Amino acid sequence: MERDQLADFLRRRREAIRPAEVGIADGPRRRTSGLRREEVATLAGMSVDYVVRLEQGRSSQPSVQLLGALARALRLSDDERDHLFHLAGHRPPPAEGVARQARAGLIRMLDLLGDTPALVLSDLGEILAQNRAALLLTGDHTGLSGDRRYIAYRWFTDPAVRAITPPEEQERHARQLVADLRAAVGRRTGDSTVAGLVDRMQAASADFRRLWAEHEVAVRRADRKTLLHPRVGRLLMNCETLVTPDQGQQLLVLTPADAEARERLELLRVIGVEEFPTGATGPTAR
């Protein structure tokens, strides 16, 4: 770990970001053109004291999870993120296989979308990043571990997940998840991570085995679904999926499909964050 260089790199990247790039108002009393340490701490989900110690070269070695959070908060490019990992004494996330860090360009798009709910997902359905509007709508799913990271796995193994989708839409939604997963498996022939996930899902769910045996394949681009929110009720949402050229990551954007959904989404912005069961609401957002 190269503490001094890590400290200097983090400080310079923080100072290089304009507040507006991350959705923070640039008020007249701001003394720096970049972000404040407390703003970085909030964006990364860590304490201000730890950010200070990192920038002063006094911290212990940060974990891979903390580095990923800092990379997202500082809007680092792939090369900058890899450099951050090297300075901290960790091997960067692999370029191939299942992506575990949202691309910097997609993170910037999340910021630009503002009050429109949007998420970045891997091609296996792991939520890599989400803006505040998406967090209000679906809960926070970026900190899940193991197979619960994947939307399809949670759908087929956790009854609470299915309960928040209207019964009349559950079969269609399940088929979409399986067809999308099979398309990812086809692109990643020989990938042990993907093959292992499918094997574990088949062992865990008879419903998944039934649908997987039908060999339906489809990459979703656009959809319309009903979300059952615990505070504002039913929302009919249009779901548009934009895929990166290598098909490794997706930007999912959700917009209200009618006036009622628009009004309820606006109400949700006003009343704030609901306490969600861990991982319970993710599948409704895709």
Listing from the earlier edge strand, what are the strands of the sheet with 233-243?
127-130, 118-122, 249-256, 233-243, 222-229
The CATH architecture one would assign to domain 104-271 is 2-Layer Sandwich (3.30)
Q: Which residues contact 4 (CB under 8 A, 6 or more apart)?
A: 57
Task: Tell me phi and psi for residue 125, to 5 degrees.
Answer: 90, 20
Domains 3-88 and 104-271 fall in the same CATH topology: no
Instruction: Find out whether 198 and 106 touch, Cβ atoms under 8 Å.
Output: no
Give the CA distances from residue 13 to residues 9, 64, 101, 157, 202, in Å, rounded to whole numbers and listed in that order: 6, 18, 18, 41, 45
In one letter, which amino acid is 99? Answer: A
Q: Which residues contact 87 (CB under 8 A, 6 or more apart)?
A: 1, 2, 5, 6, 9
**What CATH class does 3-88 carry?**
mainly alpha
Give the model confidence (pLDDT) of 153-169 as tens digits.
999 999 888 878 999 99
Give the model confidence (pLDDT) of 216-272 as tens digits.
887 777 889 999 998 899 999 999 998 887 778 889 999 999 999 999 999 998 887
The domains of the chain are located at 3-88, 104-271
Supply the pTM of this predicted model: 0.65
